[in-house]
């Protein structure tokens, strides 16, 4: 007997089949199937043969591959009973419940009093699958591994793209062959981490940003995670995501984080746009519009807080166009450096004898919103909190410190209550509209309860202070995932304000993140994290590609630099309403020295293209830059926004250098734009509108 189900739209189809009431398998995932496809026939056709050297029936590559089936690869569940004996459930169909866009399938092993539930949803607006596994037990058990619903990828996909990184170099992608055996990434840092973004893209060898097939995954979880991409000896392939090894506890109810997945027939951009739209429209809740221009004072003053100096800096930031002033680390306890006071969330009366009110009043009078920095999950040994409650520290006493700090045990209700009380007190007594929530070290142990405790605290604060926006920061991009974005309004992509590094990081992060939820700031002339000295035009236009802000000392700017920053900020404000709702399309540049993208309005009426020359090109003249996503028959008018930045060595007369261009979408996508010659470390900005 075959039971079959279909989740699909006009872009993709996922077909599941249960054979003889065993756990369901994804027998098809790919381009949308035509209406009327016989699912039972399709399911039967997907059954593979058996030959010599094999067991008599292929173990199902189900949504949770079972050890009891003698599955020859990574199983989807590893569990033990109270005495430590491994459990080997054999689940059978119990029930199903369908909604307009989703499906819940329940399977049980009654001999072990276990139920396995799959919650499967396809969001129609974004064509993104959201898949989750739940395990229910009548008895106390220990779960060592529970995968989100497991999906196969077809044999014709020859490559995978996975992500690594480090501080100030997030979202490094690696394109690898999908080879026999297992590719395992086990992130045991206790947070999403710079080195382990929980994403994967499986593709063909020829897949590019604009063409080819891609199967893309993201595990929406802010704790440690594990990813397995495996090719079995029989040629079948599976992708598993779940919580990190040893991160689950004993209990009776277990649930994976959501696995988000999608199939694209139009290259990486097809998948990227679905992730971007889903984050913007379905994950992030209640983000302020229009998105305000940030000013963060960290790289201007660090821990040296002087009220008059901060007022002067705020006035200059407002003159440059800032709309939200963020007071970073150093306002609480006796926080003169990073060795003390984390956990003591009371205003430092030495620096602010009258509290924060005088500074906030000044900032509000300038027309800006006031924001403030917290790092709630951390504690310094030199703090009143640690002296009073050393037992609240996570891990053993002689653990290695990280940035002079320890981690609070967020699984403890009294810890969460303490943090809520002190953060809420600051919010209640001050006119604060924004929190930068930091997290500056890995955890000493991997424990899902740590991330769950963080979620509970943020949810409580969001419920009681709904007007306060929150940004997730973790030494930059150390906690970026859809789980944290469900509770915050944007992420701080990287601590690097080096615009060249930012170009690459922003480009690769756009596979998953929209502009509206990605913070990007104009850093100082001399970058504090790379040592490079970069032109204000490169720094400003790079920040203008995402949610824009500043993070330099405005007093260092020359008048010419200040005027450039004002102009770019004014341009961003004039365009932010549509840009923050636009799709980021990564462009396939014919010049590897060029990082280029196109932000296309949802209705296709307008776009802006950014082309950054990050180093000298191998050829002397710019290669044409082909656009994407346009109507081939449509007519477009294009203008070079910053044509006045053309250097004197650009001696020719390319049309865009002197006047607007009108051309068809077909021409722009097939031949592309001929841009003027320019120096390295510069950005051309091209606006386009459909006529």
Integer angstrom CA distances of residue 287 from 360, 456, 488: 22, 20, 8
Give CA–CA dist 560/127, Å, rounded: 47
Strands 406-407 and 490-492: unpaired
Nearest Cα residue to 160 out of 207, 211, 222: 207
Q: Which residues lie below 8 Å from residue 257, measured CB to CB, with a gap of 6+?
A: 132, 148, 219, 220, 221, 225, 241, 243, 483
Number of H helices, E strands in the chain: 14, 34
Dihedral (Cα; 573, 574, 578, 583), 10-degree rounding: -70
Nearest-10 crossing angle of helices 559-579, 536-543: 20
Q: Give the length of the chain.
A: 691
Q: For residue 638, how many other CB atoms are within 10 A of its CB?
A: 19
Integer angstrom CA distances of residue 340 from 94, 281, 384, 634: 56, 40, 9, 61
Please identify every residue annotated as catalytic: 438, 495
The CA radius of gyration of the chain, in Å to the nearest whole number, is: 27
Residue 117, classified by CB atoms within 10 Å of its CB into exposed (0-12), middle (13-18) or buried (19+), is middle
DSSP for 266-286, written as a single string = BHHHHHHHHHHHHIIIIIS-S
């Amino acid at each position: 007997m075959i039971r079959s189900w279909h989740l699909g739209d006009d872009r993709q189809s996922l077909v599941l089949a249960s054979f003889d009431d065993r756990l369901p398998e994804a027998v098809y995932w790919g381009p949308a199937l035509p209406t009327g496809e016989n699912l039972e026939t399709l399911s039967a056709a997907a059954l593979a043969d058996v030959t010599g050297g094999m067991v008599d029936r292929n173990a199902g590559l189900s949504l949770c591959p079972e050890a009891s089936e003698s599955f020859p690869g990574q199983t989807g569940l590893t569990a033990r009973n109270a005495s430590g004996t491994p459990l080997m459930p054999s689940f059978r169909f119990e029930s199903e419940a369908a909604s307009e866009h989703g499906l819940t399938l329940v399977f049980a092993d009654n001999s072990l009093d276990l139920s396995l539930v799959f919650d499967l949803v396809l969001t129609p607006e974004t064509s993104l699958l959201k898949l989750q596994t739940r395990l229910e037990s009548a008895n106390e058990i220990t779960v060592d591994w529970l995968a989100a619903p497991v999906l196969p990828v077809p044999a014709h996909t020859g490559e995978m793209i996975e992500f690594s990184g480090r501080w100030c170099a997030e979202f490094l992608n690696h394109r690898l062959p999908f080879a026999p055996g297992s590719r395992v990434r086990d992130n045991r840092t206790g947070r999403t981490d710079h080195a382990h973004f929980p994403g994967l893209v499986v593709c063909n060898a020829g897949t590019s940003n604009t063409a080819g097939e891609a199967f893309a995954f993201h595990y929406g979880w802010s704790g440690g995670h594990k990813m397995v991409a495996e090719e079995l000896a029989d040629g079948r392939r599976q992708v598993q995501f779940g919580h990190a090894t040893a991160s689950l506890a004993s209990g009776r109810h277990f649930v994976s984080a959501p696995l988000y997945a999608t199939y694209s027939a139009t290259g990486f951009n097809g998948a990227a746009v679905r992730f971007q739209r889903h984050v913007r429209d379905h994950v992030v809740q209640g983000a302020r519009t229009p998105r305000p221009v940030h000013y963060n004072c960290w790289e201007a003053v660090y821990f040296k807080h002087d009220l008059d100096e901060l007022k002067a800096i705020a006035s200059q930031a407002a003159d440059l166009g800032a709309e939200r002033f963020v007071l970073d680390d150093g306002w609480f306890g006796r926080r003169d450096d990073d060795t003390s006071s984390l956990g003591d969330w009371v205003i430092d009366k030495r620096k602010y004898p009258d509290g924060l009110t005088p500074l906030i009043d000044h900032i509000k009078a300038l027309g800006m919103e006031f924001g403030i920095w917290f790092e709630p999950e951390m504690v310094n040994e030199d703090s009143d909190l640690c002296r009073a409650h050393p037992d609240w520290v996570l891990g053993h006493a002689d653990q290695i410190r990280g940035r002079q700090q320890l981690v609070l045990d967020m699984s403890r209700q009294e810890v969460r209550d303490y943090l809520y009380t002190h953060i809420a007190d600051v919010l209640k007594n001050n006119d604060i509209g924004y929190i930068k929530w930091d997290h500056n070290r890995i955890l000493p142990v991997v424990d899902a309860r740590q991330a769950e405790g963080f979620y509970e605290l943020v949810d409580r604060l969001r419920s009681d202070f709904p007007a306060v926006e929150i940004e997730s920061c973790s030494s930059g991009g150390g906690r970026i995932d859809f789980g944290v974005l469900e509770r915050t309004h944007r992420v701080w992509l990287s601590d690097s304000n080096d615009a060249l590094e930012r170009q690459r990081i922003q480009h690769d992060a756009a596979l998953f993140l929209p502009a509206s939820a990605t913070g990007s700031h104009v850093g100082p002339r001399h970058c504090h994290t790379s040592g490079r000295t970069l032109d204000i035009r490169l720094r400003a236009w790079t920040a203008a590609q995402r949610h824009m802000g500043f993070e330099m000392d405005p007093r260092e700017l020359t008048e010419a630099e200040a005027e450039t920053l004002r102009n770019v900020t004014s341009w961003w404000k004039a365009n932010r309403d549509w840009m923050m709702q636009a799709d980021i399309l990564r462009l396939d540049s014919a010049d590897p020295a060029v990082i280029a993208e196109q932000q296309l309005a949802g209705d296709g009426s307008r776009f802006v293209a950014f082309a950054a020359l990050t180093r000298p090109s191998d050829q002397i003249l710019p290669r044409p830059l082909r656009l994407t996503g346009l109507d081939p028959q449509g007519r477009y008018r294009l203008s070079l926004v910053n044509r006045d930045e053309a250097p004197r060595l650009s001696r020719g007369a390319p049309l865009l250098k002197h006047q607007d261009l009108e051309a068809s979408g077909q021409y722009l996508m097939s031949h592309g734009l001929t841009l003027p010659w320019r120096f390295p470390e510069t950005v051309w900005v091209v606006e386009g509108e459909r006529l």
